[in-house]
Chains A and B, each alone.
Chain A
Amino acid sequence: MPSPDPTPALLVAEQASKTYADLVALAPLDLQISAGTMVALVGHNGSGKSTFLRLASGLLELTDGEITINGAPAGSSDARAALSFLPDEPVLYDDLSVQEHLAYVSALHGVHATRDDFNELVERVGLAARADDLPARFSRGLRQKTSIALALARPFDLLMVDEPFVGLDAPGKDALLGIFDELHGHGRAIVVATHDAGFVERVGRCIALRDGEVVHDGPATPAEVLRLVGS
């Protein structure tokens, strides 16, 4: 039940599926996400949320069907340039500081950023005091903040985020929600996979997955989300 949307689609999934031998991680899925939309992707553990995000980012390969980002196949160079993926588990270099991480990742995307740009970013995510430290020695929450900063340090049209609030303290969560709103205001599309039923109140569209299949696509209240995917 894909929702009709007048704006051009940024992400298009057509019969996109992923199976591991007998296990269906994602049943054939048809989905469109337009520029400037903020979408909540909800579902219980193993429902296929992370699988879908990883398929779209190119980290996983489709068993069948197709996913395109800005018209380019998922995982292709153009699609990678358009999509920023923030995974649920921070993956960071042991030997680079936060600043060096930001400089490296932004350079890999052709961004000529200054130290001031990085300072502003680390300030926004609450890492200003730790910008020259090695994230390898950080707590889970600080590593998550570093990962968030990296996802934002590069250009993108679509931001896909997997469980961003895990490990974040209350100020960190508020800062991230503020960033999402700002990006949304700038016309970026954002897809957030989360178990946080309250988050659906901030978005106009909620896609609920259950056992790899879409069971709801449209506006939803937290109560509806709990009913759809179970508590």
Chain B
Amino acid sequence: MLAVANPDADLEGTLRDWRRFRRQKRTADIHWIDALYQAYTTAIVGLVIVVFASGAVGDNPLSASQTAGLLAHGPGWLGGLAAFAIALGLRSGSRGGPLALERTEVRHVLLAPVDRTTALRAPAVRQLRFLTFVGIVVGAIAGNLATNRLDGGRVAWIATGALAGLVLVALCVGSALLAGGTRLPRGVASLVGVVLIGLVIADGTGVIGFSATSTFGDLVLWPLRVDLAGLVPVVVAGVALLVGMRLLGRLSLEAAERRSTLVGQLRFAATLQDVRTVIVLRRQLAMELPRLRPWVRLAVNGTGRWPVFVRGLRGLMRWPAARVARLVLLAAVIGLCLRGIWSGTTPLVIVAGMALFIAGLDSVEPLAQEVDHPSRRDATPLEAGEIHLRHVPVAVLTQLAVAAIALAVAMVPGRAQLPLEAGAVAFVPLALGGLGGALVSVLASAPSVGGNWSLAPPEAQGMRLAFRTVWPPAIAILGVTPVFFAHRAQEQGLAPIAGGVRIVPLVILVFGLICGWVRVRADIGIWWRSQMEMAHAKP
């Protein structure tokens, strides 16, 4: 009954052997047809992305003056990628990342007297190997695309792109390991990230002459100009990784266990494309909790008017500072994208639309909670659609605030400043587009495997899935198009307002239709099911 430990036992060797045993068991369970199918779908998706990106980048070679400008200002801005990777890594590490361990590994391996650094090395290397592969492939593709517009040999661009991708991954993972191993407080990690990104902006806009990460930009531009300063990020990334790996054993078990539970659910939700669940789990992972004390305490009045609206406001007043900061940041990104669109970089319409969509998902939080807890909602004498619709005004107010900040950033005097009339035309569509997409995403929820669609052929199911995935962000992107059309009008010598205003009624119409759908979607569902039952009942 009482087990006795052998003091000379090689625990780490035992762990290695058992992991190999488990790996063999898992590998034996994988059918080669499944593996081939996965490779096939990955290749198809990769091809689509490459073709789309090729079209988005365009193929007009840069002029000599444009290339000179790129060499002068490019390193500063491209350093932003390294700054972002480091900030992301520090943020992840300060929250117990970057490792996503199985919960069983935390409970059985990390609670055993096995050396934790040794125990964690294998999962860390596995994770790093996958991310490195992704970084190299994405970098090589980006390098290949760069040859469309830039001088320098194709091989040089592809090789440099692959190296830059590798360095970015190493910087991100290395920073995360360092932050996790040194138990860097979350506030400090966020501060360092903000400072790095702030320095990039200051460097890019010419306020300062050099930023901490601009050497990464020198590396990226090697095919145009070889600058040995580009070796700095390579060395820094390598050192960060090596030191971080040595600190693996100091990982916080508390954070590791919290991550182990949430990351597994997060992956599952992401696989199902269940955006709402991904958001909720991501908030839990980041420990983003509502404030105990609201920003502004609203008077409690049980018989007050507009209870749903007031409930939304109360929720808004308890938003954590991190969520407010995220929305402001997203608004700033949208503003910068609008400037980019105004200067002629059309693909930024998609980036701005995606940022608007993500902001919208935060704005519809009170409504989303009704969807999360249908039994509580259905216990009220109001119809579900009615309650959902009454949540929309607070979300509109939030999105208007996001749009206002975005336009403020876009209209700050400087290069590619958005004119006032274009901003005025875009204000409402920006707010409604992002919100419309978020409403559709939250209410359409995750794809169901039940119902009448379960018997549909794979091609039809696939089309439906693709539509459900693409439609919500597409609505948000529609909200950005007034700026695009205003810019096109200006290029054609017309007043920007004339171009932008044409699309505004369409955005408002789409939003109105979405609100109508929010109100009657349950009725439509009931009607549809009854029709299907009648059809099945017929002899």
Chain A residues proximal to chain B, CB less than 8 Å: 21-22, 57-61, 75, 77-78, 80-81, 85, 87, 91-93, 95-96, 104-113, 117, 120-121, 124, 150, 152-155, 179, 182-183, 186, 188
A-binding residues in B (CB < 8 A): 1-7, 9, 11, 14-15, 18, 22, 25-26, 29, 102-104, 106-109, 111-115, 252-254, 257, 289, 292
- A112 touching B111 by the CB < 8 A rule? no
**Does A59 lie within 8 Å of B257, measured CB to CB?**
yes
Across-interface contacts of B4 in A (CB, < 8 A): 111, 155
Knowing A61-B253, A95-B22 are in contact, say whether A108-B2 is a contact too (CB < 8 A).
no
State whether A80 touches B22 (Cβ < 8 A): no
Give A125 Cβ to nearest chain B Cβ, in Å. Answer: 11
Instruction: Report Cα–Cα, A95/B109, bound state, in Å.
Output: 16
Instruction: Please tell me if the beta carbons of B1 and A121 are within 8 angstroms of each other in the complex.
Output: yes
Measured CB to CB, the nearest residue on chain A to B293 is A22
A-B contact pairs, 7 of them (CB 8 A): A58-B111, A60-B254, A61-B252, A77-B115, A105-B112, A153-B3, A154-B5
Residues from chain B with Cβ under 8 Å of A183 in the complex: 1-2
| Closest chain A CB from B17 CB (angstroms) | 8
| CA–CA, A91 and B5, complex, Å | 23
Complex contact B22–A59 (CB within 8 A): no
CB-based contact B3/A111 at 8 Å: yes
- Specify which chain A residues have a CB less than 8 angstroms from the CB of B1 in the assembled complex: 120-121, 124, 152, 179, 182-183, 186
* CA of A78 to CA of B114, assembled, Å: 10
Contact indicator B108/A110 (Cβ below 8 Å): no
Q: How far is the CB of B501 from chain A (nearest CB, A)?
A: 49
Q: Compute how far the CA of A154 lies from the CA of B3 in the bound complex, rounded to whole angstroms.
A: 5
CA A182 to CA B292, docked complex, whole Å: 48
- Minimal Cβ-Cβ distance residue in B for A92: B104
How many A-B pairs have beta carbons closer than 8 Å: the answer is 100
* Min CB–CB distance B121 → chain A (angstroms): 16
- Minimum-distance CB pairs A-B, first 9: A110-B9, A108-B112, A81-B113, A110-B5, A91-B107, A107-B14, A155-B5, A111-B3, A77-B113
Bound-state CA distance A186–B3 (Å) is 12
Q: Could you tell me if A109 and B2 are in contact, using CB atoms closer than 8 angstroms?
A: no
Chain B residue contacts of A154, Cβ below 8 A: 3, 5, 112
Which chain A positions have C-beta within 8 A of B115? Answer: 77
Q: A107-B18, A110-B11, A111-B3 known; A85 and B111 CB under 8 Å?
A: yes
User: Please, how many angstroms separate the alpha-carbon atoms of A227 and B25 in the complex?
Assistant: 53
Q: B289: which A residues are within 8 A, CB to CB?
A: 21
Given the complex of chains A and B, what is the CA–CA distance between A186 and B2 in angstroms?
A: 9
Contact B111 A155 (CB under 8 A): no
**Interfacial chain A residues near B107, Cβ < 8 Å:** 87, 91
CB distance from A127 to the nearest CB of B (A): 15
* A80:B113 contact, CB within 8 angstroms: yes
CB-based nearest B residue for A60: B254
**Cα distance A21–B291 in the bound complex, in angstroms:** 11
Docked complex Cα distance between A95 and B22 (Å): 8
With a cutoff of 8 Å between Cβ atoms, the chain A residues found around residue B7 in the complex are 110
Interface contact A59-B253, CB-CB below 8 Å? yes
Which residues of the partner chain B approach A60 to less than 8 Å between Cβ atoms?
253-254
| Residues of chain B within 8 A of A113, CB atoms compared | 3
Q: Is the CB of A59 within 8 A of B111?
A: yes
- Cα distance A196–B5 in the bound complex, in angstroms: 33
Note all chain B residues with C-beta closer than 8 A to A112: 6, 9
Residues of A with C-beta under 8 A to B257: 59
**Interface contact B15-A108, CB-CB below 8 Å:** yes
B22–A81 CB distance below 8 A? no
Q: Are B22's CB and A75's CB within 8 A?
A: no
| Set of chain A residues within 8 Å of B103, measured between Cβ atoms | 91
User: Which partner residue on chain B sits nearest A113 by CB separation?
Assistant: B3
State the CA gap A87–B26 with chains docked (Å). Answer: 27
Given contacts A87-B107, A109-B3, contact A78 B254 (CB under 8 A): no
Let me know if B3 and A96 touch, CB within 8 A: no
